[in-house]
Chains A and B, each alone.
Chain A
Amino acid sequence: MSTTLLAPALLSQATAAASAQAPDALRAQREAGARAFEQLGLPTTKVEDWHYTSVASLADASFVPMNGDASGVTAEQLAPYLFSTSWPTLVFVNGVHAPSLSTIDALPDGIRVLPMAQAMTTLGDQVARQLGTAAPADRDGFTALNASFLGEGAVVHVAKEMVVDTPVHLLFVTTDKGVGGMQHPRVLLYAERHAKATVIESWVGLTDGAYFSNPVAEVMVEDGATLNHLKIQREGRQAYHVSTIEARQGRDSHYVSFCFTTGGQLSRTNIYTVLDGEGCGTTLNGLTMLDGEQHGDVQTRIEHAKPNCFSRQIYKSILDDTSHGVFNGKVFVRDIAQQTDGKQTNNTLLLSKTAQVDAKPQLEIYADDVKCTHGATVGQIDQTALFYMKSRGIDADMSRQLLTYAFAAETLETIENETIRDELEGVTMRRFTSSD
């Protein structure tokens, strides 16, 4: 382990300081985080899952905890990222909950949305018990780091049998005042038995400066519940973003994740789910669009732990300039998980000769009666389709734009909520139709 350890001394000092100042309820968690981080450090490219993504430049940087300075941030600035102004929205600015910009007073029945600090006081033990359950502090260096700073973030709780149609939005914004800072929010999403809800987690950078976001989400989807969880990452161009989502699923539950990535100089998203009840399913779809020198890494890990479960994945990347995309989709089927039905598709469209992708499907199957398929493609714009469009009078630029958009559309189409789908389709369309 020590050979793969990066020793960011400054980070260790900061974690120690954080646990020394911890409120009682969080002290144990923070201390565990600090200890784990001391041990684990940050991964190097010698660690298998980090082979294609180097965080060396992050380990060298000296980010300090963000101070939540929300001065000067206006509702107009946030408007383009809201999807809908009528949805309950919990806003965080520069690492800290910003009550004046949040609108969670009129919540639909059956759902609770609380900033972490308030959740700790109102729900107390309930929250403390959940923290670190799906994402234990010693999982990896980044989760350890997150645990050692526990305190900010949000709790979304959907009561049993409540079907909540209105999405809840958690919006994390970094401005110029957050440059040089780091944030480690924790998000707890809890859907009780037969509940249904949609939660959007947005990451937005309103600055071109460097900062570091290191969120961890713990997701519980109880028996028969359905949780739509959209992670929309539009961090600033110089941001570092490392995020981990750990989900645990009960019998007949459905966890539906969509991961939309366009931001950051270096981003990494881990989505791990354990199908821990019979008949449950998971759908992990996503779209990554990078250009310039961006590096974006998406890792999924689906653990089929019980029989008769399904998993579906469609991940697409559109890479331009010298950007670098990584996709690693791991499907792990335990010996008792018979009748597992898994399907993974990963397609990359390269818009330039210098863009590159490393894509790796990984199937580890220990059951003998399963159906698991995967397919990965990497390609350029289809020349036959391009000529077909041109032969109808559509000019080369527009044909290329349409084909690029069409490539992305296949994943965006899977988003169930129409408002979110339309908005992200619009963002994608504009990205490829604005002249550059």
Chain B
Amino acid sequence: MLEIRDLHASVDGTPILKGITLTVNAGEVHAVMGPNGSGKSTLAQVLAGHPAYEITGGEMLYNGENLAEMDAEVRAQQGVFLAFQYPVEIPGVSNAYFLRAAYNAKRKAQGLDEVDPMEFLDLVEEQLKLVDMDPAMLHRSVNAGFSGGEKKRNEILQMAVLTPSLAILDETDSGLDIDALRIVANGVNALKRPENATILVTHYQRLLNYIVPDYVHVLAGGRIVKSGGKELALELEARGYDWLLEAVA
């Protein structure tokens, strides 16, 4: 589904990603771990198409197509979804309107009819339960004044509505208490399908107790310095990142 080969990316001329190679197949869950500043969010944003990042080398193929040539909105319409580490507040745009616009944009790209507000409310009702969210939240502005946990749940709600093929979750677990973490993890698990794939970016092993990854990768200094199975996460939890960083230094 996703093939990243020797990917290099810079921001404002500063190289951040320095040769990432990663293959993600349908049905797989990949955890990307690593210390702060190692480039995890950069990788996530580059995959989603943030214009501030310049791709200076390598390639990203999504279902055989060159991701770099697609605008961010096209990637999303084709099934790429990024749950932001820091979800953005949009005062003045209601959550319901925003979700429906996103949902309809995808339907339109697939040649399907758009749904009207009433149909959409019916459809979103189920997904609200999945993330244990009050329907009243639909009528508030996107993320404006939401607590940290509400913002993260709102990201999962968007994911549930948009049913992406490739979901990238950037530290969706950070800053969540255990109850919120369970809700988020349950949501992600419930949305898992054999034809979909998930990249979980996380700083802590804790999330992986709830969402079991097939592969774990450690990112440091803009490179993947180690890959392994789910047991690698436990080793990182026990030993920290330093031994790995020393090994590659």
Contacts and interface: CB of A to CB of B under 8 A. Distances in A.
A394 B101 contact: yes
Interface string B43-73: 0000011110000000000000000000111
Interface in B75-121: 75-77, 81-82, 84, 87-93, 97-98, 101-102, 105-106, 109
Contact of A390 (B71, B84, B87, B92): B71
A403 interface: yes
Contacts, number: 76
Nearest to A397: B73
A409 B92 contact: yes
A115 B98 CA distance: 47
B71 A393 contact: no
B48 A391 contact: yes
A392 B158 contact: yes
A375 to B, nearest CB: 15
Contacts of B75: 391
A410 interface: yes
Contacts of A388: 84, 87-88, 90
A435 interface: no
Chain B contact patch, size range: 20 to 34
Contact of B73 (A384, A394, A403, A409): A394
Contacts of A398: 101, 105
Nearest to A384: B88
B73 A402 contact: no
A387 interface: yes
B29 interface: no
Given A406-B93, A410-B92, A396 B71 contact: yes
Interface residues of A, number: 22
Contacts of A399: 73
A272 interface: no
Q: Which of B88, B92, B141 has the largest number of chain A CB atoms within 10 A? A: B92
Contacts of A408: 92
Contact of B49 (A384, A391, A394, A409): A391
A406 B90 contact: yes
Secondary structure of the A contact surface, majority rule: helix
B158 A402 contact: no
A432 interface: no
A407 B92 contact: yes
Contacts of B98: 389, 392, 394, 402
B41 to A, nearest CB: 13
A406 B51 contact: no
A405 interface: yes
A391 B48 CA distance: 6
Contact of B102 (A387, A393, A407): A393
Contacts of B141: 406
Contacts of A389: 90, 98, 101-102
A316 to B, nearest CB: 11
A87 B162 CA distance: 45
Contacts of B162: 392-393
Contacts of A405: 92-93
A390 B90 contact: no
Contact of B91 (A384, A387, A392, A410): A410
B74 to A, nearest CB: 8
Interface of A: 384-385, 387-396, 398-399, 402-403, 405-410
Given A385-B88, A391-B82, A409-B92, 19 more contacts: A384-B88, A385-B89, A389-B102, A390-B72, A391-B49, A391-B76, A391-B81, A391-B84, A392-B98, A392-B158, A392-B162, A393-B77, A399-B73, A402-B97, A402-B101, A406-B91, A406-B141, A408-B92, A410-B92
18 contacts: A384-B88, A385-B89, A387-B88, A388-B84, A389-B101, A390-B76, A391-B76, A392-B101, A393-B73, A393-B76, A393-B102, A393-B109, A393-B162, A399-B73, A402-B93, A406-B91, A406-B141, A410-B92
Interface of B: 48-51, 71-73, 75-77, 81-82, 84, 87-93, 97-98, 101-102, 105-106, 109, 141, 158, 162
